[in-house]
Chains A and B, each alone.
Chain A
Amino acid sequence: MKNVINEMKISFISSAKNESFARQVVASFASQLDPTMEEINDIKTVVSEAVTNCVVHAYKDKIGTIHIKSKIYDDSTIEIEIRDTGVGIENIEKALEPMYTTGDKERSGMGFTIMESFMDKLKVTSKINKGTKVTLTRKIKNRRR
């Protein structure tokens, strides 16, 4: 059984300007696992995707709050939970399909595909008008020495 050795929580408003802030914060937190540049970049990318989903879809016509909780386990695993209290996802299976988007032309519909392929585990739970929780897990393997 693995144990949590560190944990952090942040909350911020769903402004697109906070996407960069969110990925930098999580990357900084993950850096204590001594990841490679590629691992850090993957973490930044998936956080950016999940936070963008909150900004674009969850709080489409309003400003809401995005919550990120991240845990580091003693087996060098990082867990990142990104949660909103927005509109929710009607059909999670459909949302996970590559190229599927209900967003504007600047969305590619590849967000969940990237999260799935860059991380070891992706879990999405959602309730209509209650919100969505995306949990991403990755074991940091290639540690610099």
Chain B
Amino acid sequence: MKVDYERKKGTLSISFIGELDHSSAKMAMQSIENLLYLYDDKEIYLNLERLSFADSSAIAVVLFLSKNAKTRNRTLRIVNTPKQAMRVFQAAKLDKVVNFMCEVNI
């Protein structure tokens, strides 16, 4: 899996590209930690449009990002979540604690 990012007018957009499972979760968390440390943009978007697979490791990664954003006083939105990943997140009721938005052009 690859982690990509883009900054635009106070917004940090992070994209996950490929498959997110146990083998890539640690790298994803490390990238998130680095990006949130380096950039102080108030709004964070996690764009999952190009996430081709997610298992429960993705739940841990999203919760990690959510906690990190909250600690640093940033707003987090998860956007363009594919059906397969959403089904995993919903099994953990993640949609009740994290802000999910669909079809966002960023």
Contact = CB atoms under 8 A, between A and B. Distances in A.
Given A19-B23, A20-B19, A44 B53 contact: yes
Contacts of A106: 22, 25-26, 29, 57, 60-61, 64
A105 interface: yes
A114 B55 contact: yes
B56 A17 contact: no
Main secondary structure of the interface of A (DSSP, over half): helix
A29 interface: no
A49 interface: yes
A107 interface: yes
B21 interface: yes
Contact of A41 (B21, B84, B92): B84
Contacts, number: 78
B69 interface: no
A117 interface: yes
B22 A56 contact: yes
A61 interface: no
B21 A19 contact: yes
A45 interface: yes
A113 interface: yes
Interface residues of B, number: 22
A41 B22 contact: no
Contacts of A142: none
Contacts of B91: 110, 113-114, 117-118
Interface string B76-89: 00000001100110
Contact of B55 (A38, A52, A55): A52
B92 A108 contact: yes
Contacts of A88: none
* Minimum-distance CB pairs A-B, first 10: A16-B23, A106-B25, A108-B59, A108-B60, A48-B55, A110-B56, A41-B84, A52-B22, A108-B56, A110-B92
Interface of B: 19, 21-23, 25-26, 29, 53, 55-57, 59-61, 63-64, 83-84, 87-88, 91-92
